[in-house]
Amino acid sequence: MSIFGWFKSTAIKVSHVFVTIFGSDAAKAFGTAAYRMLQSEAGKIVQKSVLAIASLKLGAEESRKAAFDDAVAQTKASGISVGTSLINLLIEMAVQKLKGAGLP
């Protein structure tokens, strides 16, 4: 992993394969976008869902489904319309952040 950007003293790490395929500018842009997405209202809701489900010690597929279902319910309750693909992307980014994979 290499460091490509700093956001408020937090490094965004992007895999070497990503950089090889898309280039360092795209890697930096992706890191910036991931950071901003997780800071959105929907991103904050999904992070809370992922964190809550992680404490339940479920299997991988059960955890993903539970986090998805909770995130859908919470975003709808907050009046936020988010597509399933975006929720899945936010879940993956939240999981990587929780695992300490370099997302802020």
3-state secondary structure of 11: strand
Listed by start position, the domains of the chain span 2-38, 40-98
Q: Is the dihedral of CA 42, 32, 66, 53 positive or negative?
A: negative
Q: Which amino acid is at 63?
A: S
82: phi then psi, degrees, rounded to nearest 5: -130, 130
Q: Would you give per-residue pLDDT tens digits along the chain (104 residues)?
A: 322 333 333 334 556 777 888 988 888 888 888 889 999 999 999 999 999 998 888 888 899 999 999 999 999 999 999 999 999 999 988 988 887 755 54
In sequence order, what E strands does 1-81 have?
2-7, 10-14
pLDDT, residue 4, reads 31
Query: CA of 41: how far to CAs of 18, 23, 48, 60, in Å?
Result: 27, 29, 11, 25
Residue positions counted in the chain: 104
State pTM to two decimals: 0.75
pLDDT, residue 101, reads 58
